Amino acid sequence: MKKLIIILMAITAGYSNMSAQKKGKGEKEVNVITSDKTGWHKIGEMVASFSKERDVMTVVGADKFAAIKIKVTDADIHISDIEVYYENGTQEDINVKSNIKNGGESRVIDLKGGERSIKRIAFVYKTAGGSTEKAHLEVWGLKTNAKK
């Protein structure tokens, strides 16, 4: 029994260390979503690289969401567009055109077709007000567990 507890603790520690994974070139670290509970879940986070003004975040794990929102810290940012790529190969271009202040968040962005499996999310952005600070973005997804 003692060995089983030690093994389970080691597995749990291993999973908690996997909370972020590096993806391919130009893609940011993301959380591995393991829960299907209804509500908001952090999909991933990144620091905006203003040298390219476009970043891609890969979504890993239990990736079905009905809506997304972005929380911003460390600096203001202007998000022009978000491109959501789904597991079934389709894509949704979302015209955001929103200045988000440090400590603020975007509006809730409903995804077409209800709860869908997201493969990756691309952001097109620029610094707001010519700041030299880099904005830290957290992407949150809403699980409704609605049956189709």
What is the b/e burial string over 2-13, where b = at least 16 CB atoms within 10 angstroms of the residue's CB?
A: eeeeeeeeeeee
Bridge-based pairing of strands 20-21 and 27-28 is: unpaired
Rounded CA gap, 123 and 54, in Å? Answer: 5
Of 3.90.120.10, 3.40.50.300, 2.60.120.260, 2.170.190.11, the CATH number of 2-143 is 2.60.120.260
Identity (one letter) of the amino acid at 64? K
Lowest mean pLDDT among 5-14, 15-24, 103-112, 135-144: 15-24
The angle subtended at Cα 92 by Cα 76 and Cα 120, nearest 5°, is 70
pLDDT in tens, 44-102: 999 987 677 889 999 988 789 999 999 999 999 999 999 999 999 999 999 999 999 99
To the nearest whole percent, how much of the chain has pLDDT over 70?
71
Token pair 């940012």: residue: 77
